[in-house]
A and B are shown apart, each in its own frame.
Chain A
Amino acid sequence: MKKIIIGLGSCGIAAGGLKVKEALQNLAAEADSGIQVSETGCMGMCYAEPMVEILEDGHRTIYGGVDEKRAKEIFQNHALGGKPVADAVALDSDGGGSEQGFLAQQERIVLERCGAIDPESIDDALAMDAYAGLEKALKTMTAEQVVDEVLRAGVKGRGGAGFPTGQKWKFAAGYAAESKYIICNADEGDPGAFMDRSILEGDPHSVIEGMIIGGYAIGAAHGYIYARAEYPIAIRRLKIAIEAAEARGFLGKNILGSGFDFKLVIKEGAGAFVCGEETALIESIEGNRGMPRIRPPFPAERGLFDKPSNINNVETLANIGWILRKGADAFSAYGTEESNGTKVFALAGKVTRGGLVEIPIGMTISEVVNEIGGGTKDNKALKAVQMGGPSGGCIPANMMDTVIDYAPLAATGAIMGSGGMIVMDEDNCMVDIARYFLQFTQSESCGKCTFCKIGTKRMLETLERITQGKGEEGDVEKLETLSHQIKTNALCGLGQTAPNPVLTTIRYFRNEYDAHIRDKKCPTKQCKALISFNIVSDKCVGCTVCAKKCPVDAVSGKAKEVHAIDQGKCTKCGICKSMCKFDAVDIS
């Protein structure tokens, strides 16, 4: 019995997966072959989407980069004919295929079922042991024993701060109250990260199971999932999964005959980065402006609706079912002395194989970027890797041997973060990157505390001046002073970490700041105020492509004659340079 499975996470859909699915469904119907066509979540190999899998008697053959034409070929030759289309095979469960290098060093705990099951089918999930950890917890363990098991596993929060989850549960369990809450933070605010989205889209049951177990452990009968509004597919699949879990008795009253009741509700966010901060998130669920509260009291004592509450990140919770099912010892076999388990990263930017990567904690950045990710694109030199998004920093190329663990990463000035990993190459301007992040945090600052509200504004203004060639001696020192003041005085993590991207770029790329300030030059030729586009006369053959493509008619010249760019009209969009086949457009 053959089955065709199409990867339909957000990436798969964006890359055209729906058209491929439709084509395959039509082919299957026409051929009247009885071949079933179904879908799955993200397999992690976003760079190779759309992906199509042929499953036969447990043997998996996965094709990458499939378009409608390829789909037809695969259907005819492989699904009907039984002969794989060899040159298009990305992965084969026998160990073949062109993309084994991407998976070879990965370990899958959190993503165990992602890309392997239909996320809308609870039976698929159950066949791969979903809810087995819950069953064990409810039927054989007390709440204290569950907390102890999670403590022993040593799993730390994957939302950024890395606080030990077991300890957090212990605090929340320690407060007596007639009602308590467990909250899943699915706000995924780091712009440029998609771990949590992929988990929710690929295996929503893993998160639901983690929440029920957490509820049992701390004595909460109510759970909320606070999900980012930009993730409609994740929200839809979560809803389907919750309904299915209710129908099977994993949610609701007297779960699995244990006497434990648990109800789960989805709250959709409304687009505010600060709502990823736990107390702001609580304000938002309560229907208010999402402004952080002063801690203490911590949510474990007084959180949602003033009741003891526990907040965990999506990925943290997705570990819990596995830990209960296989035991704390199995979990702590992965990782380092200090940090157990795995971490999921969203690898993107100027990297060859971008996608979702789950590695045991303790690998080096280089192993992830170069070996799993295949290094930079187009043979450009690697310049830096950004980790931790707006709260993190840029780690330079000569520090790629840094071990991926909480403490070594913090020592670089970056952070482990929630899992964003953006690769930058020689073309990226580090001052521009600092300006980019400050612009983000400044516009997302909630305005409650002065250091964040006004301090980030002053920093942004300074960075904008520098990138426009209006920087002055002493600007860098001013940025450093402001950074330290904001870090020590801001009310919440948003402000406390906002200067990190600036501080790390100053620390490792000071020469770029100096070039902008002293020489009024952008070494990477990215800052538009400091560059101009020109035609190189001995290379231009007068093909007229640039003149035709220029959106503002800034290029003039007759066919077969050297062209010229009107600097007054030019908006420096770079289309001419990208379209020129003769490398005749130069930036100076």
Chain B
Amino acid sequence: MCKDCAQSGKYWDCFEEILEGYSGDKSQLIPLLQKLQDAYGYLPEDIIERLSQRTGIFVSQIMGVATFYSQFRLEPVGENIVKICFGTACHVIGAENIADAICRELGIELGGTTEDRLFTVESVACLGCCSLAPVITINEETHGRLTPDTARAAIRDFKARKAVAV
């Protein structure tokens, strides 16, 4: 959404909308960052600075929180997010090989984003579908009972569907 906003000069509209309800309660910092990240895809520097001005919370404090929690990103991400589960159940059934296969398929390292900005690959602690291990998600889709081969196929299939949809 905000990609369009940015191009049409409405970059700050989302920010204003999110801050509209802010009452000065500093315990709202984490929910505010969550909403901002939802809107912008990550937490850009200029957004953090303006957030500090508006709330009176120091930039250092905001950065302290933003870097503490793994959910927050300080770099832009790809259009689609692949999350690979590294929970215990997935680990004992071969999560590492799944990660290898996917990273190789996309030509990036774990945590990286493809050059065309289509995919970011992240690791997560557990997706809560342990009985279907090993598990990954591609955006909202969950894929379970994977092998390195079917994991690779899942990425290819997703790409093919995207190409058709465009």
Contacts and interface: CB of A to CB of B under 8 A. Distances in A.
Q: Do A and B bind each other?
A: yes
Interface of A: 10-11, 13-15, 46-47, 49, 188-194, 197, 229-231, 267-273, 284-290, 305, 346-350, 354-355, 386, 389, 420, 422, 424, 428, 433, 436-437, 440, 446, 549, 551-552, 571, 573-575, 578-579
B contact residues, range: 35 or more
A579 B132 contact: no
B131 A552 contact: no
A349 B89 contact: yes
A552 B104 contact: yes
Contacts of B135: 14
B69 A270 contact: yes
Contact of A348 (B33, B97, B131): B131
Contacts of B133: 348-349
Contact of A271 (B71, B90, B94, B147): B71
A427 B142 CA distance: 26
Given A47-B131, A290-B68, A285 B92 contact: no
A286 B27 contact: yes
Nearest to A578: B147
A500 B6 CA distance: 50
Contact of B91 (A272, A305, A436): A436
Contact of A440 (B26, B71, B125): B125
Interface of B: 26-31, 33-34, 64-65, 68-72, 86-94, 97, 100-101, 104-105, 124-133, 135, 142-144, 147-149, 152
A273 B125 contact: yes
A85 B87 CA distance: 37
A585 B133 CA distance: 24
Given A194-B129, A270-B34, A15 B144 contact: yes
Given A191-B126, A290-B69, A573-B148, A551 B104 contact: yes
- Residue from B100, B101, B104, B125 having most chain A Cβ neighbours under 10 A: B125
Contact of A270 (B30, B89, B128, B142): B30
Contact of B68 (A191, A272, A348, A579): A272
A349 B92 contact: yes
B31 to A, nearest CB: 7
A11 B145 CA distance: 11
A11 B89 CA distance: 14
Q: Which 8 A-B pairs have the closest CB atoms?
A: A192-B88, A46-B131, A270-B69, A354-B131, A14-B142, A191-B87, A348-B130, A271-B70
Contacts of A190: 88, 126
B65 A289 contact: yes
A350 B152 CA distance: 23
B127 A575 contact: no
